[in-house]
């Protein structure tokens, strides 16, 4: 163990043990040091001094949702997010991959999505009557919106069509972005997807990629350029989240041109991958305000936003824990008595909806930004 | 059945949140300090079990099994202090109070009644919603606990106006080994038996802490020439809180954080409602009050020594710091009512020879401070050999300890020296 951590030693020793990172969503639920960022750093320090991590403690390393809140509060500025992912990559090499994460990787290997769904069904959501063009603007729906939260993909296609934006969609040629693999310590497997995706995009003359998934967005915007640089591959794509694209292309139309507005009180959940990781905070909020909804903020918002609990492979491997974190996030929304909890990520939506269901709550309605935009378009006599 | 097996079985049966896992135990057997490795091995041991109580009844049960199996109890908050107060000396039960974190604010009496595991800043956030505020809180308020800071006898933000935590408590509730298993309600003069006593005389289960009406905080920064000028300003203008930060501190901050603070000796004086001093506004410094340890990144380790020095001797102490500390260092001085907590921070590296040298400097400063009428901020485990010299009413407190904890199971070795640690640390102070 000590050997594989050698080059991370300065980061590991820098921890001030101030415990400010007890803000960690996983710690908030489990309350044991071994799952707190500080505790994990201390365990790594023990490993450097030849203390062997057993399987129980290894598991605790994977209870982190890689939300990055710890890095945000770290007083000595340790690049924790990178450290957790790097540590996971190394741990899986010597200790193996956790069962649920292996299953995800196996599914991706066979079906090109982590859900084990048939490749042939990937574009089953695509609405009739909407045309796909050979545009250099690609809509990348991602695995979750393609198979589990189809309403997001459907809304997106309708929105793009409504604003007469020509877009390409690769249908059955679209494959997983690799985010799940990167977050669960399986970078080597993800790298193959990176190469394959770039080949497909180049072949189709793609220049701009629009995603509705915060995970895909982070992976394309941050991980792909880094991996491409390591591998000497050119990466010349503009990556945009749908909220950024629509705000840029049609924000003013929605705000000023669409007179019929939505009514109700809403709050916005910053997906960790889109917000804290990639710095996209304003565009979704601008669109929510433009829709007419009364936007109020939860206690933890923007850079300090609280994870939904699904990321980092936690939902797959530690379902109960992930739902408990989801409930904590829902509680913040409930305190505001909002009608809508809006996010920008199908995985967040799916998980928060699941947390809501197990909590037997009636409110708030959980929506994706794409659904909000479509609603306001419809209010104004749009596509339906 | 072996006694340990029986103990484990009973503990698992009694409590919902326990861990006997050896690595988890390691995580709960140290505090924020890093002391030279050989010394650490000699002065501390690992706990045998971690228990996270959820109620006063749980705490009562912990006391019962502690007595039954003769297992020492080591109460633990967030372990953000560095004197070994939460480090087990003889194994036993680490009681992690983090699940007992409820609190209730009484707007009429302007107090908060809190369980020991509540986080100071969580209380402050709720108090602010009711237009109230804590009078004092630690610089580690974002993570440190009510119980931990009371047991430490803390001084911190607001102490310039309101003194130490002891002066800001109405009442505490305590459990100990006395035959009556009801919680003791402790007020007034009797608080001295518990505040700053590191849990050696009882386990605090609840505290009623004084609040104040919220008043806008106005931070003002003033350049000062020497610590005594800062003292004069503090005495003349009576701020709510005052911190003197050395130019070296700002240089280090600029180095590690990329900020562009002026690299001067600066007094940050914070007033309530109306500034009592001409100077520039200093919201940037005030907002950074929770992060004095940022400069640890320079290390990656940090050796620090905290001494409470009477105002009148601060000038002499600062001169001694200059004389004694050859290594690059920063100084932060937190003013209380009549004394100041002078914290000397030396970026170091625990993997390197200089670590020992820096510790030697720390011990030297401690001695110098004591010669100038000062005392260490706390004694904990590592400095318990100094308790008799620096704690007022030491003999009375010891007598009380023997009465409520005759078997010496409540955080043994802390405050009241025991075993070989005092001697080892004394020697360490002489030789390292």
Whether the Cβ atoms of residue B121 and residue B137 lie closer than 8 Å to each other = yes
In terms of Cα–Cα distance, which of B117, B152, B143, B165 is closest to B381?
A: B152
Beta carbons of B301 and A13 less than 8 Å apart: yes
DSSP state letter for B82: S
CA distance A83 to chain B (A): 16
A159 token code pair: 């929105």
Q: Which of B21, B22, B23, B301 is the best residue to mutate to test the A interface, defined by the most A CB atoms within 10 Å of its own CB?
A: B23
Q: Is A31 on the interface with B (CB under 8 A)?
A: yes
Q: Are residues B92 and B105 in the same domain?
A: no
Domain boundary among B98, B126, B143: B98
B417 token code pair: 């020296």
Q: Which domain holds residue A47?
A: 2-96
**Cβ count near A124 (within 10 Å):** 14
Residues of B with CB under 8 A from a CB of A: 17, 19, 21, 23-24, 26-28, 30-32, 52, 78-80, 98-99, 140, 142-144, 256-257, 290-291, 293-294, 296-297, 299-302, 349-351
Q: Which of B49, B51, B118, B143 is the best residue to mutate to test the A interface, defined by the most A CB atoms within 10 Å of its own CB?
A: B143
Domain boundary among B98, B115, B144: B98
Q: Are residues A29 and A64 in the same domain?
A: yes
Phi, psi of B108 (to 5 degrees): -70, -50
Residue B157: asked if its preceding bond is cis (omega within 30°), the reply is: no
Query: What is the distance between the alpha carbons of residues B324 and B332, in angstroms, rounded to a whole number?
Result: 17
Query: What is the distance between the alpha carbons of residues B295 and B345, in angstroms, rounded to a whole number?
Result: 9
CA distance A31 to chain B (A): 8
In terms of Cα–Cα distance, which of B98, B117, B106 is closest to B209?
A: B106
Whether the Cβ atoms of residue A191 and residue A127 lie closer than 8 Å to each other = no
Q: Are residues B352 and B229 in the same domain?
A: yes
Q: Are residues A221 and A285 in the same domain?
A: no
Residue A249 lies in a domain: no
Beta carbons of A14 and B297 less than 8 Å apart: yes
Q: Are residues A72 and A119 in the same domain?
A: no
In terms of Cα–Cα distance, which of B220, B345, B336, B214 is closest to B284?
A: B220
Q: What is the mean pLDDT of residues B204-214?
A: 98
Residue B9, Cβ density class (10 Å: 0-12 exposed, 13-18 middle, ≥19 buried): exposed
**Contact list, A59 vs chain B (CB under 8 Å):** none
A318 token code pair: 């530690």
Q: Are residues B369 and B245 in the same domain?
A: yes
Beta carbons of B144 and A19 less than 8 Å apart: yes
Given B26, B98, B293, which is nearest A46 (Cβ)?
B26
B181 token code pair: 């298993």
Residue B20, Cβ density class (10 Å: 0-12 exposed, 13-18 middle, ≥19 buried): middle
When mean pLDDT is compared across A92-101, A139-148, A214-223, B201-210, the lowest value belongs to A92-101
Q: Is A373 on the interface with B (CB under 8 A)?
A: no
Q: What is the mean pLDDT of residues A305-333?
A: 98
Residue B112 lies in a domain: yes
* DSSP H helical ranges for B301-419: 314-324, 354-371, 387-390, 394-404
Q: What is the mean pLDDT of residues A312-341?
A: 98
Cα–Cα–Cα angle for A165, A169, A175, rounded to 5 degrees:
145
CA distance A80 to chain B (A): 14
Residue A184: band (very low, low, confident or very high) from pLDDT cuts 50, 70, 90: very high
Query: What is the distance between the alpha carbons of residues B101 and A363, in angstroms, rounded to a whole number?
Result: 28
End-to-end CA distance of chain B, in Å? 46
Q: Which domain holds residue B194?
A: 100-213
Write the CATH number for B174: 3.30.465.10
Q: Are residues A277 and A354 in the same domain?
A: yes
Q: Which of A53, A60, A75 is the best residue to mutate to test the B interface, defined by the most B CB atoms within 10 Å of its own CB?
A: A75
Residue B392 lies in a domain: no
Three-class DSSP labels, chain A? CHHHHHHHHHHHHHCCCCCHHHHCHHHHHHCCHHHCHHHHHHHHHHHHCCCCCCHHHHHHHCCCCCCCHHHHHCCCCCCHHHHHHHHHHHHHHHHCCCHHHHHHHHHHHHHCCCCCCCHHHCCCCCCCCCCCCCCCEEEECHHHHHHCCHHHHHHHHHHHHHCCCCCECCHHHCCCCCHHHHHCCCHHHHHHHHHHHHHHHHHCCCCEEEECCHHHHHHHHHHHHHHHHHHCCCCCCEEEEHHHHHHHHHHHHHHHHCCCCCCCEEEECCCCCCCCCCCCCHHHHHHHHHHCCEEECCCCCHHHCCCCCCCCCHHHHCHHHHHHHHHHHHHHHHHCCCCEEEECCHHHHHHHHHHHHHCCCCCCEEEEHHHHHHHHHHHCCCCC
Q: What is the mean pLDDT of residues B311-315?
A: 98
B312 token code pair: 């009148």
Query: What is the distance between the alpha carbons of residues B360 and B362, in angstroms, rounded to a whole number?
Result: 5
Given A31, A53, A76, which is nearest B297 (Cβ)?
A76
Beta carbons of A76 and B294 less than 8 Å apart: yes
Query: What is the distance between the alpha carbons of residues B256 and B248, in angstroms, rounded to a whole number?
Result: 12
Residue A251 lies in a domain: no
Helix, strand, or coil (residue B87):
coil
Residue A160 lies in a domain: yes
Residue A6: band (very low, low, confident or very high) from pLDDT cuts 50, 70, 90: confident
Given A19, A31, A56, which is nearest B143 (Cβ)?
A19
CA distance A9 to chain B (A): 10
Q: Are residues A216 and A270 in the same domain?
A: no
B81 token code pair: 């202090």
The pLDDT of residue B430? 63
Residues in contact with B291: Cβ distance below 8 Å, sequence separation at least 6, in sequence order: A75
Task: Please determine, for residue A384, whether its predicted confidence score (pLDDT) is greater than 70.
Answer: no
Residue B387 lies in a domain: no
Q: Is the dihedral of CA B56, B57, B61, B64 positive or negative?
A: positive
CA distance B298 to chain A (A): 9
Domain boundary among A243, A275, A308: A243
Residue A208, Cβ density class (10 Å: 0-12 exposed, 13-18 middle, ≥19 buried): middle
Given A31, A39, A75, which is nearest B27 (Cβ)?
A39
Kindly report, residue by residue over A193-235, the tens digit of the pLDDT: 999 999 999 999 999 999 999 999 999 999 999 999 999 999 9
Residue B271: band (very low, low, confident or very high) from pLDDT cuts 50, 70, 90: very high
Residue-wise over A42-74: b if at least 16 C-beta within 10 A, else e? bbbbbbbeebebeeebbebbbbbbbbbbbbbbb
Q: Are residues B115 and B146 in the same domain?
A: yes
CA distance B273 to chain A (A): 26
Q: Are residues B300 and B348 in the same domain?
A: yes
Beta carbons of B142 and A32 less than 8 Å apart: no
What domain count does chain A have? 3
Q: Are residues A108 and A233 in the same domain?
A: yes
Q: Which of residues 35-54 of A touch B (CB under 8 A)?
A: 39, 42-43, 46, 51, 53-54
CA distance B302 to chain A (A): 8
Kindly report, residue by residue over B406-419, the tens digit of the pLDDT: 999 999 999 999 98
Domain boundary among A96, A126, A158: A96
Kindly report, residue by residue over A285-313, the tens digit of the pLDDT: 999 999 999 999 999 999 999 999 999 99
Query: What is the distance between the alpha carbons of residues B153 and B393, in angstroms, rounded to a whole number?
Result: 15
CA distance B159 to chain A (A): 21
Residue A235 lies in a domain: yes
DSSP state letter for B414: S
Q: Which of residues 170-229 of A touch B (CB under 8 A)?
A: none
Q: What is the mean pLDDT of chain B?
A: 94
Task: State the count of interchain CB pairs (< 8 A) between A and B.
Answer: 82
Q: Are residues B181 and B305 in the same domain?
A: no
Residue B419 lies in a domain: no
Residue B93 lies in a domain: yes
Task: Please determine, for residue A383, whether its predicted confidence score (pLDDT) is greater than 70.
Answer: no
Q: Are residues B206 and B115 in the same domain?
A: yes
Q: Are residues B155 and B287 in the same domain?
A: no
Q: What is the mean pLDDT of residues A330-347?
A: 98
Task: Please determine, for residue A251, whether its predicted confidence score (pLDDT) is greater than 70.
Answer: yes
What domain count does chain B have? 3
Given B24, B142, B293, which is nearest A34 (Cβ)?
B24
Q: Are residues B321 and B254 in the same domain?
A: yes
Residue B39: band (very low, low, confident or very high) from pLDDT cuts 50, 70, 90: confident
Domain boundary among B198, B213, B228: B213
Residues in contact with B334: Cβ distance below 8 Å, sequence separation at least 6, in sequence order: B139, B155, B156, B157, B159, B242, B243, B340, B341, B343
The pLDDT of residue B184? 95
CA distance B300 to chain A (A): 5
Q: Are residues A106 and A227 in the same domain?
A: yes
**Contact list, A17 vs chain B (CB under 8 Å):** 31-32, 79-80
The pLDDT of residue B213? 98
Residue B428 lies in a domain: no
Write the CATH number for B24: 3.30.43.10
Beta carbons of A13 and B140 less than 8 Å apart: no
Sheet containing A365-368, strands listed edge to edge, beginning at the edge strand earlier in sequence: A294-296, A265-268, A340-343, A365-368
In terms of Cα–Cα distance, which of A229, A225, A169, A228 is closest to A201?
A: A169
Residue B144 lies in a domain: yes
Query: What is the distance between the alpha carbons of residues B214 and B177, in angstroms, rounded to a whole number?
Result: 40
Q: Are residues B340 and B303 in the same domain?
A: yes
Given A18, A76, A77, which is nearest B143 (Cβ)?
A18
Given A18, A51, A77, which is nearest B80 (Cβ)?
A18
Q: Are residues A149 and A192 in the same domain?
A: yes
Q: Are residues B190 and B251 in the same domain?
A: no
Task: Please determine, for residue A52, whether its predicted confidence score (pLDDT) is greater than 90.
Answer: no
Task: Please determine, for residue B1, whether its predicted confidence score (pLDDT) is greater than 80.
Answer: no
Beta bridge partners of B73: B93, B410
A60 to chain B: closest CA residue: B24
Cα–Cα–Cα angle for B280, B135, B339, rounded to 5 degrees:
75
Beta carbons of B297 and A19 less than 8 Å apart: no
Q: Are residues B235 and B312 in the same domain?
A: yes
CA distance B229 to chain A (A): 31
Beta bridge partners of B346: B303
Q: Are residues A323 and A221 in the same domain?
A: no
A11 to chain B: closest CA residue: B300
A42 to chain B: closest CA residue: B27
- Regarding an ipTM greater than 0.90, the answer is yes
Residue A253 lies in a domain: no
**Contact list, A53 vs chain B (CB under 8 Å):** 23
Domain boundary among A210, A243, A276: A243
Helix, strand, or coil (residue B235):
helix
Q: Are residues A55 and A131 in the same domain?
A: no
The pLDDT of residue B420? 85
- Compute CA distances B180 → B75, B184, B204, whole Å: 21, 9, 16
Helix A150-162 × helix A369-379 angle, to 10°: 50
Q: Which of A24, A32, A52 is the best residue to mutate to test the B interface, defined by the most B CB atoms within 10 Å of its own CB?
A: A32
CA distance B297 to chain A (A): 5
Q: Are residues A105 and A127 in the same domain?
A: yes
């Amino acid at each position: 163990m000590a050997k594989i951590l050698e080059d991370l030693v300065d980061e590991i020793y820098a921890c001030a043990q101030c415990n400010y990172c007890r803000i960690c969503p996983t710690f908030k639920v489990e309350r044991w040091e071994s799952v707190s960022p500080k505790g994990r750093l201390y365990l790594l320090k023990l490993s450097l001094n030849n203390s062997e991590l057993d399987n129980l403690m290894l598991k605790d390393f994977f209870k982190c949702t890689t939300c990055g809140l710890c890095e945000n509060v770290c007083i000595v500025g340790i690049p924790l997010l990178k450290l957790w992912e790097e540590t996971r990559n190394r741990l899986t090499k010597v200790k193996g991959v956790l069962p649920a994460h292996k299953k995800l990787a196996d599914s991706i290997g066979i079906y090109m999505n982590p859900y084990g769904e048939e490749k042939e069904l990937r574009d089953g959501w695509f609405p009739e009557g909407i045309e796909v063009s050979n545009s250099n603007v690609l809509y990348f729906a991602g695995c979750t919106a393609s198979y589990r939260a189809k309403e997001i993909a459907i809304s997106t296609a309708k929105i793009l069509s409504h604003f007469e934006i020509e877009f390409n969609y690769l249908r059955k040629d679209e494959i997983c972005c690799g985010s799940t693999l990167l977050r669960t310590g399986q970078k080597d497997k993800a790298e193959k997807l990176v190469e394959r995706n770039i080949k497909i995009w180049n072949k189709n003359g793609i220049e701009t990629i629009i995603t509705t998934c915060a995970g895909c967005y982070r992976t394309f915007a941050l991980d792909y350029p880094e991996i491409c640089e390591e591998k000497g591959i050119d990466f010349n794509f503009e990556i945009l989240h749908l909220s950024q694209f629509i705000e840029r292309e049609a924000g003013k139309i929605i705000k000023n041109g669409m007179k019929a507005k939505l009514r109700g009180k809403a709050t916005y959940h910053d997906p960790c991958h889109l917000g804290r990781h990639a710095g996209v905070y304003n565009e979704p909020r601008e669109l929510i305000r433009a829709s007419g909804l009364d936007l109020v903020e939860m206690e933890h918002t923007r850079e300090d936003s609280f994870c939904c609990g699904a990321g980092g492979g936690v939902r797959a491997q530690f379902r109960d824990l992930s739902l408990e974190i989801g409930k904590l996030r829902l509680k913040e929304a409930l305190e505001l008595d909002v009608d809508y909890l809006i996010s920008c990520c199908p995985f967040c939506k799916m998980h928060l909806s699941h947390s809501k269901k197990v909590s037997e709550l009636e409110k708030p309605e959980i929506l994706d930004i794409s659904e909000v935009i479509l609603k306001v378009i419809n209010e104004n006599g749009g596509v339906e | 059945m072996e006694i340990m097996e029986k103990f484990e079985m009973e503990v698992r049966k009694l409590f919902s949140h326990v861990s006997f896992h050896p690595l988890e135990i390691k995580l709960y057997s140290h505090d924020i300090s890093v002391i030279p490795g050989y010394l650490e091995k000699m002065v501390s041991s690992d706990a045998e079990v971690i228990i996270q109580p959820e109620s006063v009844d749980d705490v009562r049960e912990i006391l019962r099994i502690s007595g039954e199996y003769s297992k020492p109890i080591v109460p633990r908050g967030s372990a953000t202090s560095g004197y070994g107060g939460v480090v087990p000396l003889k194994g036993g039960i680490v009681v992690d109070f983090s699940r007992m974190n409820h609190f209730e604010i009484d707007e009429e009496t302007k107090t908060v009644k809190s369980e020991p595991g509540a986080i100071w800043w969580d209380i402050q956030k709720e108090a602010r919603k009711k237009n109230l505020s804590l009078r004092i809180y630690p610089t580690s308020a974002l993570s440190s606990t009510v119980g931990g800071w009371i047991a430490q006898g803390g001084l911190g933000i607001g102490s310039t106006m309101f003194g130490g935590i002891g002066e800001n408590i109405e009442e505490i509730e305590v459990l100990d080994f006395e035959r009556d298993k009801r919680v003791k309600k402790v007020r007034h003069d009797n608080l001295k038996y518990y505040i700053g006593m590191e849990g050696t005389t009882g386990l605090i289960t609840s505290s009623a802490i004084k609040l104040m009406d919220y008043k806008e905080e106005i931070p003002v920064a003033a350049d000062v020439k020497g610590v005594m000028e800062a003292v004069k300003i503090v005495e003349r203008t009576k701020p709510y809180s005052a911190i003197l930060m050395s130019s070296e501190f700002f240089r280090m901050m600029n180095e590690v954080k990329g900020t562009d603070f002026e690299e001067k000796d600066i007094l940050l004086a914070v007033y309530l409602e109306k500034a009592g001093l001409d100077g520039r506004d200093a919201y940037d410094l005030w907002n950074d009050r929770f992060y004095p340890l940022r400069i640890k990144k320079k290390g990656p380790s940090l050796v620090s020594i905290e001494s409470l020095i009477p105002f009148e001797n601060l000038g002499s102490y600062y001169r001694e710091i200059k004389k004694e500390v050859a290594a690059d260092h920063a100084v932060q001085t937190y003013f209380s009512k009549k004394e100041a907590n002078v914290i000397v921070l030396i970026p170091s590296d625990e993997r390197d020879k200089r670590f020992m040298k820096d510790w030697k400097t720390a011990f030297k400063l401690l001695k110098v401070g004591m010669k100038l009428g000062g005392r260490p901020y706390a004694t904990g485990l590592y400095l318990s050999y100094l308790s008799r010299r620096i704690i007022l009413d030491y003999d009375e407190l010891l007598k009380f300890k023997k009465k409520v904890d005759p078997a010496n199971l409540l955080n043994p070795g802390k405050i009241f020296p025991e075993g070989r640690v005092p001697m080892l640390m004394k020697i360490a102070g002489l030789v390292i």
